[in-house]
Amino acid sequence: MSTRKRKKDSYIKPVVLSTFFHILFLFLLREESSIVLKPVISNKLQSVVVDQELVKRHAEQIYKERQALIQKEQTYLEQLRKNINKLEKDRENKERVVRNLKRQKKEEMHKIEQQRLIRKKEAEQARIEKEYQRNIDLKTKKKAKKLQVERERREREAALRNIFEELEIEAKQNTSDRARYISNEVDRYGLIYVQLIQKKFLKEESFHGKSCRVHLNLIPTGSGAIVGGLHIIDGYSSLCAAAKRAITQVGTFPLPKEADIVERLKNINLTVVP
């Protein structure tokens, strides 16, 4: 369920952004086509005074600016798509490696344990049979009984030790896997937060190539969170001011269900780029 949701999120966001920029492009084309030259009417003579060269230069300038804007938006979308695909592939590769390592470790431990038990059982059985054959009187039988009781006690103690050792190994492995998973989820939600901020962002030409690092203090409110505090860490001042305005316009930041991940997301640093 969680994997399908993450994949669905990774497809929806680029589609939404692409739709938004297509609508913007159509609006600009419509605005360009709506330019109408109004005639200058005099009392006796109506004539259209148009400086063709000026109109041509103006139209070319508008076209170049809009082409540059379209190219910039397409480049941004392509880079965003590549980043999302890379994060998704990295996450899948890491999960695959973890699963394979856990399976191999489990199979190896099971094989070693089985071999150890077989050797132990064979050795103990051989020892008991030899002891029994050598001691046929009552005293020897009592001793054999005592040895059997001691063997069973040692086996129980050894079995308990093995159980505790396996539990300890499993606990350490689970702790490492959980920490890696939490870190990946925090990074993924951080990317989602940056995208939400970028949707509210008012871009300027001077922002190109600039960035701003911010610290967010989020307050959980059910399935989402609101901004409880905002601190600019560093970055281009104008861009940081625009980022701050965009953050205040984001109504709710989504949160996962896992409490330990939510705890990490309450205080998060983000890098905002236009």
| CA distance linking residue 182 with residue 188, whole number of Å | 10
pLDDT for res 117: 92
142 part of a folded domain: no
Mean pLDDT lowest among 17-26, 66-75, 196-205, 256-265: 17-26
pLDDT value of residue 21 = 58
Give domain status of residue 36, yes or no.
yes
Q: Which of 43-57, 109-123, 133-147, 231-245 has the lowest mean pLDDT?
A: 43-57
Position 212 scores a pLDDT of 94
Give the pLDDT mean for 11-30: 57
Q: Which amino acid is at 195?
A: Q
Which residue from 124, 116, 29 is spatially nearest to 69, judged by alpha carbons? 29
State residue 17's pLDDT score.
57
State mean pLDDT over 117-137.
85
Give the list of residues 6+ apart from residue 64 with CB closer than 8 angstroms, or none. none
Confidence of residue 35 (pLDDT cuts 50, 70, 90): very low
Domain span including residue 54: 1-97
At 37 the pLDDT is 39
| 199 within a domain of the structure (yes/no) | no
Residue 14 belongs to a domain: yes
Residue 50 lies in a domain: yes
d(CA 225, CA 267): 11
Domain membership flag for residue 177:
no
Q: Quick one: pLDDT at residue 145?
A: 86
Burial 147-170, CB ≥16 within 10 A → b, else e? beeeeeeeeeeeeeeeeeeeeeee
What average pLDDT does range 22-45 have in this prediction? 49
**What per-residue confidence (pLDDT) applies to 20?**
62
Most confident of 128-132, 156-160, 184-188: 184-188
Phi-psi region of 31 (alpha: psi -120 to 50; beta: other; left: phi over 0): alpha
pLDDT digits (tens, 9 = 90+) for 43-60: 444 455 567 889 889 889
Going by pLDDT thresholds of 50, 70 and 90, the confidence category of residue 247 is very high
Asked if the model's pLDDT at residue 36 lies above 50, the reply is: no
Distance CA 257, CA 265 (A): 12
Q: Is 154 a member of any domain?
A: no
Domain count, the chain: 1
Cα(126)–Cα(161) distance, rounded to whole angstroms? 24
Tell me the Cα Rg of the chain: 35
- Name the band, by pLDDT with cuts 50, 70 and 90, for residue 260: very high
19 within some domain = yes
